[in-house]
A and B are shown apart, each in its own frame.
Chain A
Amino acid sequence: SQTIHQWPATLVQPVGSPLSLECTVEGTSNPNLYWYRQAAGRGLQLLFYSVGIGQISSEVPQNLSASRPQDRQFILSSKKLLLSDSGFYLCAWSIPGTGLVRGYTFGSGTRLTVV
């Protein structure tokens, strides 16, 4: 069966520090991968998506970047965190072409607080 792992679950980082959040998927190959951010009162915002290794599309200009060094690994990074980067970050995956049938599966999220 397919599973998705996200870590860490919670993170408190000072302003200006770097960030690395990791997401891995098991039990499938060549998934579409997504990073969402959930900020208080703003719903979920799609940040990045990837259709393959090294292929990253950004949805909004921001202080963050994403990488996909391996087929089932998706990393969210920042060189210098801002206070506005605080939020709940969710990774998700779907099987290409089947998102309508199987839906999109989300990880358990990372709560990031920038202080």
Chain B
Amino acid sequence: AQSVTQLGSHVSVSEGALVLLRCNYSSSVPPYLFWYVQYPNQGLQLLLKYTSAATLVKGINGFEAEFKKSETSFHLTKPSAHMSDAAEYFCAVRRSGGGADGLTFGKGTHLIIQP
């Protein structure tokens, strides 16, 4: 079965600093990986996805993630944090097997931006 682990339930960075949110996956098949962002009391918005093409994936709002098979990681980064980046971030892996596709999510990382 596929699973993801997000390291750190809360991450705090200063405005303008590098953002690094960690995600490690476990998958018995080539994984398809996603990052979603959730603002308070809203649904989830897709930031970016890895689907076995380029290992460095660029998403919306200046975020990018690099797929590293040797490290089973898909960490999310942004060079310079902005106050509007404060939100909950979820890493997800596509489920495989019979029936519908779907996603298995990590527990989320709450990103706090310090002024």
Q: State the A residues within 8 Å of B (CB).
A: 6, 9, 32, 34, 36, 41-46, 49-51, 57, 88, 90, 92, 94, 96-97, 99-101, 103-109, 111
Contact = CB atoms under 8 A, between A and B. Distances in A.
B88 to A, nearest CB: 9
Contacts of B9: 41
Category for how many chain B residues contact A: 20 to 34
Most interface-central of A41, A99, A101 (chain B CB within 10 A)? A99
Nearest to B106: A43
B99 A43 contact: no
B43 A32 contact: no
Q: Chain B's interface: helix, strand, loop or mixed, by majority?
A: loop
24 contacts: A36-B105, A41-B107, A43-B90, A43-B106, A43-B108, A44-B44, A46-B95, A46-B103, A49-B99, A57-B100, A90-B43, A94-B101, A99-B94, A99-B102, A100-B51, A100-B94, A101-B51, A103-B49, A106-B36, A106-B43, A106-B45, A107-B43, A108-B43, A109-B41
A109 B44 CA distance: 9
Interface in B56-115: 90, 94-95, 99-108
Contact of A99 (B36, B99, B101, B104): B101
A51 to B, nearest CB: 5
